[in-house]
Amino acid sequence: MLAQLLNGLQYGLLLFLVASGLTLIFGVMGIINLAHGSLFMLGAYLAFLLTKATGSLWLALPAGLVGGIALGCLLERALFRHFAKREHLDQVMLTFALILLAEELRWFIAGNDFHAVPIPPMLDFSVPVTAGFSYSAYRFAVIGICLVLALAMFLWIERTRIGAAVRAAAENPEIVDILGLDARRIHLMVFALGTALAIVAGMLAAPLTSVYPGMGDGLLIISFVVVVIGGLGSIVGAFWSALLVGLVDTLGKAYGPAFQGTGPIGTTVAALAGSAVYLLMIAVLLWRPTGLFGQRT
């Protein structure tokens, strides 16, 4: 049970990295980016390739971070800046096209097979937690790294001037012009940050899940669920929502199947346990149509 709780926490924190970028990008720039999951996949494949080449995940991580920021800037300048003015339908279609193209790119570079990514040797052991239970050191490291990043984001958003500008822009995009802030710089920064976080999340996740075609898809949907539950544009909302979703999903998938075959109600519960997060989202939206920490009409 403790293992599942920790797994849920770790999954939730990774989700936070991905969802925080997503929520800022929509909140500040008004862009629905379905291809965000592909960035996660890109990060995972980068980890796979760089680890194969250099033998070390630790070298790959900073490369991913820097590369992610660079890629984010490039994508924003070249593509997403123009998407911002489009209708939702167009954005959905354009970013869906990007998902398909990203899958083709992945096939071209790494083929269609599952690839395992080795856990860094330094962390390839178990940490004893209680008598009779020990937990993967790597997973603890992931939790730690994510918490550090989350804390850094929180401080940046709450304590710095730029962070305050981003926060204001997320709540009320028109305010940016009124306050005389440079909208283009803020958009660029937000997009680059979101991209980099998604890539780093993918890199961290790679040793845990392996890399395979379509791995970004499932994560994308769940990330959107996190954003919807947490409320658009809210980092704090994304954080708590990600933890909630991570726990519900992990516990649901771990314990749901146990109900299978215990009569009709039990089997239904088992069937729905895998979709527990969707039910959670629907329940939240019935109560708060704009998410837990969301605002506006």
Partner 1 sequence: MIGPAHLLPKTWFGWALVALGFGILAVAPYFVTSFYVGLMTTAMIAGMLALSLQLLVGGAGLVSLGHGAFYGLAAYVVYFLSPEGAPQPIWITLPLAMAASGLAALLIGAISLRTKGFFFLMVTLAFGQLVYSIFHDTKLGGGTDGAYLARPLISAFGFTFEPSSLPRSKRSWPAYYVALVQLAAMFAVLAFLLRSMFGRALEGIRVNESRMRALGFNTYAFKLAAFTIAGTLAGAAGHMWAMQSGFVNPELAGWHRSAEALLHILLGGIGTLAGPIVGAFAFIFLNDFAQQITERKLLVEGAVILAAVLVMRNGIMGLRWPWAPPEADPDASEQQGDGIVRQARETVHD
Chain residues 63-92 in contact with partner 1, contact rule CB under 8 A: 86, 88-90, 92
| 40 near partner 1, judged by CB under 8 A | no
Rank residues 174 and 180 by Cβ distance to partner 1 and give the closer one. 174
Q: How many CA atoms lie within 13 A of 164 on its CB side?
A: 4
Among 97, 122, 129, 258, binds partner 1 (CB under 8 A): 97
How many other CB atoms are found less than 10 A from the CB of residue 109?
11
Q: How far is the CB of 259 from partner 1 (least distance, A)?
A: 12
Q: How far is the CB of 293 from partner 1 (least distance, A)?
A: 14
Residue 234 CA to residue 84 CA, distance in Å, equals 19
DSSP-assigned states of every residue in 182-239 = -HHHHHHHHHHHHHHHHHHHHHHHHHHH-B-TTHHHHHHHHHHHHHHHH-TT-HHHHH
Rank residues 26 and 48 by Cβ distance to partner 1 and give the closer one. 26
Binding mask 239-278 for partner 1 (x = CB under 8 A): ----------------------------x--xxx-xx--x
Q: Quick one: tokens of 122?
A: 């330094």
| 164 near partner 1, judged by CB under 8 A | no
Q: How far is the CB of 136 from partner 1 (least distance, A)?
A: 26
Applying CB under 8 A, which part among 48-56, 115-123, 170-178, 225-233 lies near partner 1?
225-233
Q: How many CA atoms lie within 13 A of 258 on its CB side?
A: 5
Rank residues 143 and 292 by Cβ distance to partner 1 and give the closer one. 292
| 177 near partner 1, judged by CB under 8 A | no
| 144 near partner 1, judged by CB under 8 A | no
Among 49, 63, 77, 103, binds partner 1 (CB under 8 A): 103
CA nearest to 162, candidates 197, 196, 192: 192
Q: How far is the CB of 144 from partner 1 (least distance, A)?
A: 31
State phi, psi for 212 to the nearest 5 degrees: -160, 160
| 171 near partner 1, judged by CB under 8 A | no
Indicate the burial class of 156 (C-beta count within 10 angstroms; 0-12, 13-18, 19 or more): middle
Among 59, 70, 122, 279, binds partner 1 (CB under 8 A): 279
The answer to whether the CB of 41 falls within 8 A of the CB of 215 is: yes
Q: Residues touching partner 1: how many (CB under 8 A)?
A: 39
Q: Quick one: tokens of 60?
A: 């790959």
The answer to whether the CB of 23 falls within 8 A of the CB of 234 is: yes
Rank residues 107 and 133 by Cβ distance to partner 1 and give the closer one. 107
DSSP-assigned states of every residue in 174-186 = THHHHTT--HHHH
| 104 near partner 1, judged by CB under 8 A | yes
Please state whether 241 falls in left (phi above 0), alpha (psi between -120 and 50) or beta: alpha
Rank residues 6 and 15 by Cβ distance to partner 1 and give the closer one. 15
Rank residues 92 and 141 by Cβ distance to partner 1 and give the closer one. 92
| 32 near partner 1, judged by CB under 8 A | yes
Q: Quick one: tokens of 35?
A: 């291809």
Q: How far is the CB of 213 from partner 1 (least distance, A)?
A: 10
